[in-house]
Chains A and B, each alone.
Chain A
Amino acid sequence: DIDDVGHKYYLELELEDVLDKDSTVNCTAEVLYHLGNKNIAPDVQFTLEGEPKNTDEADNIFYNRIKNLEKELVAENIPDSHGNVPPEMEPIRLLAWVASGYVIWQNSTENTKLQLAQIKHVKQVKRSDEYLEFDYMILLHDTVSQEIIPWQMTVLWHPQHGVQVTQDSRQPKHASG
């Protein structure tokens, strides 16, 4: 408890690579939830002990595949009702996961527990520069309220420059179609 400021949490975490369970990195973090104002994202400071695995090769393969598509990528329901994700959509799903992490961070309080539930729709937006751009409609699940919250997010990615969420907005409940 920090008087007049908020609640601070000190965390020791082990980060595990989703694609390689043996690859782990230790992490320490401090999270400060601000008192009162629900519109400010919690402050996060973190330190990684070591480095995550190098993924340049896989990144470049994915990057080139998308860059070379004749028509812009479009997809729905990832995963499908049975939890299946076509292998070529795995990177699209992982990208959404990372990007949704940002959205979740920006919208978390001590009373939320948000997870990415499903990608309803994703559409690639062609760009003239080197970045890849995807327009996602995702569904977030909040364990505390049990609500399913549709959210639109525009995601930029480049192998060397990483992920950016350039725009995101909460959607009305029936917007996901």
Chain B
Amino acid sequence: DQVFHIVPETFQQVQHLQHLCSTLLLDLWKPQLPEDIRTGEDLHIRVPAPLVQKMKDSLDHHMISYKVLIPDLQKLVDQSMPKERRSHRQVPEGYIYTQYHPMEEIYQWMTQIQKNNSELVTQHHLGKTIENREMYYLQISQPSDKTKKIIWMDCGIHAREWISPAFCQWFVKEILQNYKSDPKISRFLQNLDLYVLPVLNIDGYIYSWEKDRLWRKNRSPHMNGTCYGTDLNRNFNSSWGTVGVSYNCSSETFCGSGPESEPETRAVAQFIERKKSDILCYLTIHSYGQYILTPYGSTTKPPSNSEELMHVAEKAAAALMGKHGTSYKVGSTSLILYSNSGSSRDWAHMIGIPFSYTFELRDNGTHGFVLPVDQIQPTCEETM
């Protein structure tokens, strides 16, 4: 694309330029509107690359002199971008999964992923956040005549746990890149549908990029806007408000004004409730600590299928360790971590989803929430 600088000399030239703008649908940078084009005044027009020659011919034909202000707009745009983010912004083929991405890019990524894998992936609307942002999940589903059971995975319920959304994106990429060639994945998809919510707490995530890297909660206002945020993982209707929570908005574990008081919680809960008879497994991804946590956090009483839950989790931890030697602890939240009520994992199990797990990804506290980018790949590989 090029940007032209023209100073019309006569009214006829003005008319012709206005005509060109409307017929070629050119992007007028200065002035704002065609009707404001005047003789003797600067005109800056962006001309898309395929129309550049046509534009030049037309100007020459009407004896309108011009200068090319910007001969290569894309180059200028690329140069003005911070180095690492440049040409990889738009396309998942060039999408860098070993970097953390802001929400804007994740939205674009979802659209592209669906576009590039439309035989398998559909993007669906789940609800809206408190700040009115759209929540979407990706459904990875191989066309088949049988109804399949569902595995649900959500990431980013806590804003500062950046490795979590990074993992969800990685997961989707791995599945889509390998489902044809990897027999395990291919068998998986024959029998199961995967539902992935890359960022649950969108407002919080954005806030952690723009204002406070260590923000955890959502961004719902309380006390007349003097205090913000409910801990979404204390807001579910599972023994809500009983243990490991605060009723004070200024706390990081504020459980909200009531169970499912937050739109983000409701959006997820309503969907899962509707589909619960088909959902086999509920996974929620957090950091840090390196744990695979089973229900419950709200009580030490074991869930009905506790043995099976533990068995599967132990196998998962062993497989994970096999990749890079990272050790994960496995067990019930209330026994190995701390007590907490209102968690999504507890709630999912309580409404009947048999396998419900919280993953706490790397690391052990050395970097904590601010996991360096060079650990994104190994973390995702082992978790996969």
Residues of A within 8 A of B (CB): 18, 77, 79-85, 115-118, 139, 141, 143-148, 173
Q: Name the residue on B nearest A85 (C-beta).
A: B372
Q: Name the CB-closest residue of B to A97.
A: B366
Kindly state the separation between the CA atoms of A85 and B374 in the bound complex, as whole angstroms.
12
- Whether A82 contacts B250 by the Cβ 8 Å rule is no
Q: Smallest distance from the beta carbon of B211 to chain A beta carbons, Å? A: 11
- Residue in A83, A147, A148, A173 whose beta carbon sits within 8 Å of that of B371 in the complex: A83
- Give Cα A85–Cα B213 distance, bound, in whole angstroms: 15
Name 23 interchain pairs, CB-CB below 8 A, sorted by A.
Answer: A18-B366, A79-B372, A81-B100, A81-B208, A81-B209, A82-B100, A82-B372, A82-B373, A83-B370, A83-B375, A84-B372, A115-B365, A115-B368, A117-B368, A118-B213, A118-B214, A141-B368, A143-B338, A145-B251, A146-B253, A147-B251, A148-B214, A148-B252
Given contacts A81-B370, A83-B375, A173-B250, contact A117 B214 (CB under 8 A): yes
Q: Could you list which residues of chain B lie within 8 angstroms of chain A, going by C-beta atoms?
A: 99-100, 208-209, 213-214, 216, 231, 250-253, 289, 338, 365-373, 375
Q: Which residues of A contact B209 (CB under 8 A)?
A: 81
Name A's interface SS.
Answer: loop
Give the chain B neighbours of A85 by CB distance below 8 A: 372
Closest A residue to B213 using CB positions: A81
Q: How far is the CA of A117 from the CA of B253 in the complex (A)?
A: 18
Q: Which of A117, A144, A146 contacts B370 (CB 8 A)?
A: A117
What is the chain B residue whose CB lies nearest that of A84?
B372
A172 to B372 alpha-carbon distance, docked (Å): 28
A33 CB to closest chain B CB (Å) equals: 17
Interface residues of chain B: helix, strand, loop or mixed (majority): loop
The 8 Å CB contact of A143, one of B100, B289, B366, is B289
* Bound complex: CA A84 to CA B367 (Å): 10
| Chain B neighbourhood of A144, CB < 8 A | 338
Say yes or no: A145 contacts B253, CB within 8 Å.
Answer: yes
Please, how many angstroms separate the alpha-carbon atoms of A82 and B371 in the complex? 7
User: 10 new A-B pairs (CB below 8 Å) besides A117-B368, A139-B214?
Assistant: A18-B366, A81-B100, A82-B99, A82-B372, A115-B368, A116-B368, A141-B214, A145-B253, A148-B252, A173-B250
A116, A139, A146 interface centre (most CB from chain B within 10 Å): A146
Q: Given A115-B365, A117-B214, A118-B213, do A79 and B252 touch, yes or no (CB 8 Å)? A: no
A113 to chain B, nearest CB (A): 8
B255 CB → nearest A CB, Å: 12
- Assess whether A146 is in contact with B216, with CB atoms less than 8 Å apart: yes
Query: Inside 8 A of B213's CB, which chain A residues have their CB?
Result: 77, 81, 118
4 A-B pairs with least C-beta separation? A83-B372, A115-B365, A146-B252, A81-B213
A83 to B166, CA, bound (A): 14
When chains A and B are docked, how far (Å) is the Cα of A148 from the Cα of B214? Answer: 8
Task: Report Cα–Cα, A82/B101, bound state, in Å.
Answer: 10
Q: How far is the CA of A86 from the CA of B160 in the complex (A)?
A: 21
A82, A85, A115, A145: which has the most chain B beta carbons within 10 Å?
A82
Q: Looking across the interface, which residue of chain B has its beta carbon closest to that of A143?
A: B289
Query: Bound state CA distance, A115 and B288, in angstroms?
Result: 11
Q: Which A residues lie within 8 Å of B366 (CB)? A: 18
Per the bound structure, the CA–CA distance linking A146 and B288 in Å amounts to 11
User: Would you call A83 and B373 a contact (CB within 8 A)?
Assistant: yes
